[in-house]
Amino acid sequence: MLLGFSVVLVAAGSNTLLQSWVRDDMRGRVMAIFTMAFLGIAPLGSLALGSATHFLGVRPALVSFGAVAIVAALAHRQRLRLASRAA
C-alpha cells in the first residue's frame, strides 16, 4: 500500500510540477516527452529487473535496484538544490 501511494504521489507530483513550471506554449510538447519517458522506461526497467532476478535472486535484485533508485534520487535532489541556488 505504501509503495502504491508513493508511485501515485511521484506521478502526480511530477505531472503537476512540470505543468506549472513550463510556459503555456510549450506545455503540450513537454508533457508528451515526459509521458513517453515516464511510461516508456517502465518496460526496460522490468526487463532489467527480471534479468537481475534470474541471476541474483529476488531479494538481492530488489535491494540493489532500490539502492540504485535511492542514490539516483539523492543525486537529483542535490542537483535541484544547486540549480535553485544558481537561479
pTM above 0.85, yes or no: no
Separation of CA 38 from chain center: 7
Residues 45-63 as b or e (16 or more Cβ within 10 Å = b): eeeeeeebeeeeeeeebee
Residue 87: its pLDDT value, please?
75
Q: How far is CA 74 from CA 18, 46, 56, in A?
A: 19, 22, 25
What length does the chain have?
Answer: 87
d(CA 55, CA 61): 9
pLDDT (tens digit per residue) in 9-28: 988 998 898 899 899 999 99
